[in-house]
Every structure is written in C-alpha cells, then in structure tokens.
Amino acid sequence: MYVCNCKGLNETRVRGAIRSGVRHVSKVFQACGETPQCAKCVHRIVVLIQEEHATQLCHPWPDAPNNEDDRLEA
C-alpha cells in the first residue's frame, strides 16, 4: 500500500526507514532518498512513526527479531 503517492513510497519502505531509527518525517524522506512534494502523506507517516516506536517501546525483548525479514537475517 502506498503511503506517499508523489514519490511512490510504500508502507514497507517507510516502516523500514523508521525501524532504522528515524523519528521525523523529513528524515524518513531522506532515508528513502526522496524529498516531499505535496506533503499530503505527512499525517500517515507520523502515524507510522508513532506505531513503530510504540511497538519498540512495548516489545518485551527489544533486540529480538520482530518480523520474518529480521528472523531470516539473524
């Protein structure tokens, strides 16, 4: 599902940037190698940042793999 239609950023790519430690919308774009255009996606990206960091804060074992990709890389 696309989060940013202008730059073609899907949810997986945005969540990946956030999981690398990004906490600001502008840094999400930077991590994806893009710059915002219309900014209609800002609210959705903010929600994803909140979701991802809430998940990390609530995770009982923060260093444990939390998805299929992490398990494959471990």
User: Which residue lies nearer to ligand FES by CB, 42 or 66?
Assistant: 42
User: Which residue lies nearer to ligand FES by CB, 44 or 66?
Assistant: 44
Residue 67 CB partners (closer than 8 Å, separation 6+):
none
Task: Point out which residues bind ligand FES (CB under 6 A).
Answer: 4-7, 36-41
Least distance in Å: CB of 16 to ligand FES? 16
Tell me the two tokens of residue 27.
């840094």
User: Which residue lies nearer to ligand FES by CB, 22 or 41?
Assistant: 41
